[in-house]
Amino acid sequence: MTFGRPFQVAVVAVAVVLLAACQSPPVSPQGRPSAVSVNSGSSVQKQVARTGIDVPMAWGGQLRCGAAGCRLVTVEHEKSTVVLYEVQGRQARLLDRQPVAYHPDGAIWLTDDLVVAAVEGSFSLDVFRVVQGRLQLIRQIPVGLSPRDVVLVQASEGRFRLLATPYSGKEVAWVEYVPDQPEATRVQRAKWCEAPWHPVRVQRAPGVPGGGVVAACLDEKRVVFVPEDNLLGAARTLLTVPVDAQIVPRQTRPSPSGRWLYVALETGGRNLRFNMDSGELQWIAAPLLGTVSVLPLTDDLVIWAADSRLYLQRLGADGTVLETRWLPVDGFATGLQLVDADADGVQDLVVYNSAALPKKMGVEIIYGPLWEQAQPQMP
């Protein structure tokens, strides 16, 4: 279960060979900022400020910034560890690394001092408390499946509702967790679809103004939705990708207003977006064969991730691509997160490379403004 899908293995292998032969960008030491030059013909374009963090196979994670500064929790997938970093002044410092069972796939923050990791081998969500910069395991919650993702869906007065979705299989696990009352923890299962990866909350869906949760079903070519007022109910089909069996929806993310749901398609040379008011579906031309993750910046400005590069697209009202710009990354960018990591009032991009290229960084922080720093030529 190292890479998850044959497509990922093939793309990473090809990228490693091609990039090793064609490129030698500078490598930053662990936790140190670096500037990456993007070559285009004989000219060298402007440098992009970024911090690289040496996390092998960062399948997931989250950077949390608050009054006490910024801390990153992530996983080293093959090394079966959860790691904690402090990010300050565009530098990262390792605080702690703790072992878990085979293949952790993701980690999130619940509060400033509570972390949850999804761990395949133990069929569990592992809860850690951060005490003086160290990760202390306080609870292991069995969920009855090998979790690929964990998402915080609701939080109120010290109570948390978590969603764990599987690496493979149709069942998801809803977890009610109260740290101060561990005996009150409750796990309920529901059937969704085959391999519902990367669930995300949405503000609304056609005919459902209250919103809910959506996920891309890798092995069923559809996107499913459960409404906020009935999260334990059966998942309904929000959209089916209307193409042949080669097209696989891999990740969905809503635009900031909630109007559009963007869908990254693993193969096929195009992506799509779905209008969450009208149900209209629009195809979006892609410059590369496959896309592994997506993050809208506005309703009509979106970041797509492919192997070793990101591309940003400005779109017209009908989904036509008006302009494309590029940013290089160090690997297979399956996770994207917006956060102001250096506290300058501008959103930055955290990239989680589930498979980094040799001698490259598993986590990268690319400092904004993102569109202005991206380049018009493919790296």
Closest CA to 323 of 285, 289, 283: 285
* pTM to 2 decimal places: 0.89
Q: DSSP character for 55? A: -
Lowest-pLDDT range of 85-99, 229-243, 297-311: 229-243
Instruction: Measure the CA–CA gap between 292 and 5, rounded to whole angstroms.
Output: 11
Concatenated DSSP letters of 202-240:
ES-BTTBTT-EEEEEETTTTEEEEEEGGGTTS--EEEEE
Instruction: Measure the CA–CA gap between 178 and 172, rounded to whole angstroms.
Output: 20
Instruction: Measure the CA–CA gap between 230 and 11, rounded to whole angstroms.
Output: 39
The arrangement of strands across the sheet holding 69-76 comes to 61-66, 69-76, 81-88, 91-99
Joined together, the tokens standing for residue 99 give 């072992």
Instruction: Measure the CA–CA gap between 286 and 300, rounded to whole angstroms.
Output: 15
In contact, 304 and 286? CB cutoff 8 Å: yes
Mean pLDDT in residue range 148-166: 96
Q: Is 270 exposed, middle or buried (0-12, 13-18, 19+ CB in 10 A)?
A: middle
pLDDT (tens digit, 9 = 90+) per residue, 40-82? 332 334 678 999 999 999 999 999 998 778 999 999 999 999 9
pLDDT (tens digit, 9 = 90+) per residue, 197-218? 999 999 999 999 889 999 999 9
Residues with Cβ within 8 Å of 183's Cβ and at least 6 positions away in sequence, in order, are none
The reported pLDDT for the residue numbered 33 is 47
